[in-house]
Amino acid sequence: MIAVQLLLLALITAAMAADGAGPPSAVRHLYLVPTLWAALGAGAAGGGLIGLLAGLLQAPLVLPAIERMGLGSRTLDGLVSLVTPVSVGWLVGLLVDASRGRAARLRAVLEIQRSLGREVPLEERLESVVEGVRAALGAQRVGLVVTAEDESRAPVAVPSGPGFDERSAAGLAQRTGRPVWVEDLRSDPRLGAPAAGGPTPIRGLVLPLDAGRGAVGALAIEREGDLTPAVRVAAEEMAMHLALAIENARLTLRQRRFAEELERKVEAATARLRELDQAKSEFLSVVSHELRTPLTALQGFSELLLTRAVPPERARRFLGHLHGEAQRLGRIVAELLDLSRIQAGRPLELRREAVDLNEVIERNVELFAAEHRGHQFGWAGCPNGLTLEADQDAVDRMLKNLLSNAVKYSPAGGRVAVAAGPAPDHPGMVELSVEDDGVGIAAEHLPRIFDRYMRIANPETAAARGLGLGLSLVKALAEAHGGRVEVDSLPGKGSRFRVLLPG
């Protein structure tokens, strides 16, 4: 290309010399053709060089005329013609360079956005970005360091070759948020002992990647020869776009993670709702069954007493059955009332008074021992007596529920031990524990056993009756007192429930 342009210059000069018109020759304007061609093709360097040659080639025709005729309008015109090609070539070349630079920057920015949006590992995306920036800036090497979102992780560096050093210029720019400029990488003492180096300086520029919320990394550029202000501006622009793109990519990733987590939570909540729905259905069935059983007994025995002449001894026994079933019905109704109160979010009403725990435990143990002769109940009693400020009825119901559970979920002949006393691990609290050697509860069910309607499916205890409300009521009553309930259990070994109440 340059050979053709040089040939054109020579032809134009020959034509001008042959024309013989001297400096005002119209042929001189033709110099602009190769000059503009070079400027459009090779930018300021090409346009300036061909323009300079054009001016120099005209000089032997113009200068003698000036020497002969002095400075007149014609010779002055010729003098202007000498500098016109170089000026035009250089200025047009500058514009061409600027527009090419802008186009390259735009392409690089688009490439950055495209690369960072790809669904590939971060290192791979950064490698692609680095290549785009390198090509756009005409640099020999471009490196990128991006800090990890999690500060405990090492930053990602591309190229990954010799490894990123926190003490490097890139590390400094990333820490301080300020650019670092190195005039010549091979002779700058800040980079260690100066090397012998090559004939061309290698410029280094490190820009922090900062989109306004602190540096997220650094962009390092190594370029042989000049790093012009235009290239520097382009690098700064790309660093800004990179910072924004990295922030956006991270934001997108965070949103995606959040959406996934939300989806998981919704799925879990839906499953829980399904379980609750099923538990409620089962509860209704159990409730109707639990209510019907004592009602049937009440109906049957009262009908017998009304319709038949029953001997007094037998009638007394029937009345005993009637009383027992009525009590059971009463307990079910009380539990249902408590449940509705808890569900409505109303606090349980407590009547606090001094409660003699010894007396409550003793009474219940005797009652349960009398009712469930197949089980062995153990209660050592408190030697110094144990009194606490609580609702006596609530304490009684908590104990009854725990004893009832222990009996239900342990085989005939099983042992049920009750203990009470100051809690050794919770100063100021009193513990009331009920321990059995029954079927126990699997670890995965433990977190849910205090939920309402929750009945753990177990073939050994399938016959056990209950609404699945007992333990949730114990928990609610303990919490209403400012205490709590805990459980330790091993499948096949038994369970130990411990109610902690303020002393």
Partner 1 sequence: MLLLSAPFDAARGGHGAPIAAPCALAGGAALLGAATGVWIELQGGGPPGLGRSAAAAVLHAGFFAVGWILATDGRPGWPRPALIMAAAFLAASVASRLSSWGATAFLLVPLVLVGVSRGHAELRRIGLARPKGLLPLTAGLGVGIFLGAHLLVTSSLTFGYGVRIANAGAYLSAVGYDVGANALTAEWLFRGALFSRWWRRWRFWPAAALATAVGVARYLLDPALASAVEVRAGAVFYMALLGVGCCALRAWSGSLLPGYSATVVFFAAYRLLAP
List residues binding partner 1 (CB under 8 A). Answer: 53, 56, 59-60, 63-64, 66-67, 141, 143, 145, 157, 159, 161-165, 167-172, 180, 182-192, 194, 196-201, 204, 206, 220-222, 225-228
Q: Give the N- to C-terminal CA distance of the chain in Å, as an integer.
A: 101
Q: Which is nearer to partner 1, 218 or 432 (CB)?
A: 218
DSSP 461: G
Print burial letters for 427-454: b (CB count within 10 Å at least 16), e (below 16): eebbbbbbbbbbbbbeeeeeeebbebbb
C-beta of 24 vs 466, nearer to partner 1: 24
Bond before 159 cis per omega within 30 degrees: yes
Nearer to partner 1, 189 or 345 (CB): 189
Give 82 or 474: the residue with its C-beta nearer to partner 1: 82
The least distance separating partner 1 from the CB of residue 448, rounded to whole angstroms, comes to: 54
Give me the least distance between CB of 59 and partner 1, in Å please: 6
Of the candidates 465, 395, 386, which has an alpha carbon nearest to the alpha carbon of residue 434?
A: 395
Dihedral of CA 120/126/127/132: which sign? positive
**Exposed e or buried b for every residue in 479-490, given b needs 16+ CB within 10 A?**
ebbebebeeebe
Beta bridge partners of 490: 494
- Residue closer to partner 1 by CB (options 54, 420) is 54
CB of 67 to partner 1, least distance (A): 5
Residue 93 CB, nearest approach to partner 1 (Å) = 14
Q: Are 17 and 9 in contact (CB under 8 A)?
A: no
Tokens representing residue 82 in the block: 């000498």
- In terms of CB distance, is 121 or 225 closer to partner 1? 225
Rounded least distance, CB 265 to partner 1, Å: 42
In whole angstroms, how close is the CB of 490 to partner 1 at the nearest point? 58
Between CA 146 and CA 123 the distance in angstroms is: 10
Alpha-carbon Rg for the chain, nearest whole angstrom, is 47
Residue 69 or 103: the one with the smaller Cβ distance to partner 1 is 69
Half-sphere exposure of 314 (CA within 13 A, CB side): 8
Q: How far is the CB of 103 from partner 1 (least distance, A)?
A: 23
Residue 445: its H or E element: none
